[in-house]
Amino acid sequence: MTATKIVIIGGVAGGASAATKARRADETAQIVMFERGLFVSFANCGLPYYVGNTITDRDELLLQTPASFWRRFRIKAHIRHEVLHINRDEKRIEVKNLQTGKIFFEPYDKLILAPGAGAVVPPLPGIVAKNIFTVKTVPDSDAIKSFMKAHALKHALIVGGGFIGLETAEALMNLKLDVTVVEIADQILLPFDLDMATLVSTHLREKGLHLIEGDGIRAFHDRDGHAYEAELQSGRRLPMDLAILSIGVRPELKLAQEAELQIGNAGGIVVNDHQQTTDPDIYAAGDAVEVQHLVTGKPTRIPLAGPANKQGRVAGANAAGGDLRFPGALGTAIVETMGIIAAKTGLSEKEAKAHGYDYFVSVTHPLDHAGYYPGAGQLHIKLTVEQKTGRLLGAQIIGEQGVDKRIDVLATALTAGLTVEDLEYLDLAYAPQFNSAKGPVIMAGFVAANTLRGEVQTITSDELQHKLTINPDLQLLDVRTSSEYQAQHLPHAHLLPIDELREHLQNLDSQKETVVYCRVGLRGYLAARILLQHGFEKVYNLTGGILSSSPTQEK
């Protein structure tokens, strides 16, 4: 029986995972991989940390080499080989050896596409200057480090406030550079809601990062091939010695399009749950493919290493005759920069709104472990919840510690289709240095489930601002202490501490719409329950308390 020949286009997460899984599935298969770059398998998520010298040994980033692929897996991995064309009728690909210029053809029985995505580099004036870089590959990082070593630098500019941009900003600040991040949108971390992203941007500014939001780059001005100044769309000019572009990535679709494989509305290669394209002998995995979102059920693109590795594994197994399925992804992601951590899974509030869900949000600000045990830090948790069913739609968490395990619990809950009432009764590990008896995820479940059951109606900061414009007669009560009120309170709010509320009910109008708030929401919830049981009909608790309000709304 003739051995199956599996050819893989592209390495890194998707391609390398496909190759090794194919070998584990079929010891007799011929497996050949072609990678256009210098490195067939490397940890691209570690590149910012290599730039900033957190990772000092470059070889730590190189997960596999052509030699190690052959030694352990008997996989022929060719670097500096670019695939030019796929001939589906003859089942062969056209390949160019970029070192020699030689062009040859390679036949296949099964083909796996893992072309990945390239860094977005917009055609701005001056963008080809020698001191403007991307940070997508190992050679990119090598070029940045070589430039920094050869030049005395003071001002660094990061274009783009996404995950890689903020990680790179931290890396350069650790090298004692004066760093500015420019983000054209009105917030950094676009997958997050504005209120959550603002918690991060406030922290970064306090740490000394210069952050410009709502303004983009118009041009770079250069002298002798080196840019010395960036001109923003607003006309503002920023001095710079180095710029790193972190604008986003664009899927590499050229080969798939020329081969007339289907490209979906989300802008990626269409695959089924076996990672098969519209050609049953061609599979695809990684940043260039569309995946099913596990919450919406709709196709989307999620260019993250986790899904890419799993997709590659499925593609490799099935190309070798297996029957694995990739069910989809949630887009679970986490980033740390300058001591602040932001994580997200599933749908944000703005995404739930865009997809037409009837939803509500619930915000809590618990400590990451028991407050009586030293070192507890505050978390900021925002849940997006389906209104009628209580099904969890998504979660976002900001904090300085304990974020990772909470987002993973919530991602697991999303995968299982749990409701917020299920979160109330999760049996999670508790010891004071790790958690609270009513831990952050459970507490978030309590608060959201209370809203779901109608025990209290909640209102967000934005909703309150809108309500005040249409109902200036709204009864707004601050139920904290006098000292807290004097330090900071919402405009038009009347002070009525929770412990004195019952004695002053006669001074309130039970027929008026009433909003109560405290610092994080707990005392507001208690106040709302008191008012509701004393005949007040329209009572709302500000979800997340004053900690979730916009600074412009505070006095």
Active site residue 518: no
Write the CB contacts of 552 (distance below 8 Å, at least 6 apart in sequence). Answer: none
Amino acid at 450: N
At residue 174's C-alpha, the angle toward residues 173 and 179, to 5°, is 5
Dist. CA 540–CA 517, nearest whole Å? 9
Q: Phi-psi region for residue 19, left (φ > 0), alpha (ψ -120 to 50) or beta?
A: alpha
Catalytic residue among 5, 30, 45, 481: 45
| 3-class DSSP assignment, residue 129 | coil
Dist. CA 5–CA 30, nearest whole Å? 5
Q: What distances in angstroms separate CA 421 from CA 26, 392, 394, 411, one per listed residue?
A: 45, 9, 15, 16
Dist. CA 478–CA 476, nearest whole Å? 7
User: What is the rounded end-to-end Cα distance, in angstroms, of the chain?
Assistant: 79
Nearest to 75 by CA among 64, 85, 83: 64
Dist. CA 100–CA 97, nearest whole Å? 6
Q: What distances in angstroms separate CA 92 from CA 84, 168, 259, 269, one per listed residue?
A: 11, 41, 11, 19
- What angle do the packed helices 440-452 and 403-415 form, to 10 degrees? 50
Give the single-character DSSP code of 261.
-
Cite the active site residues: 45
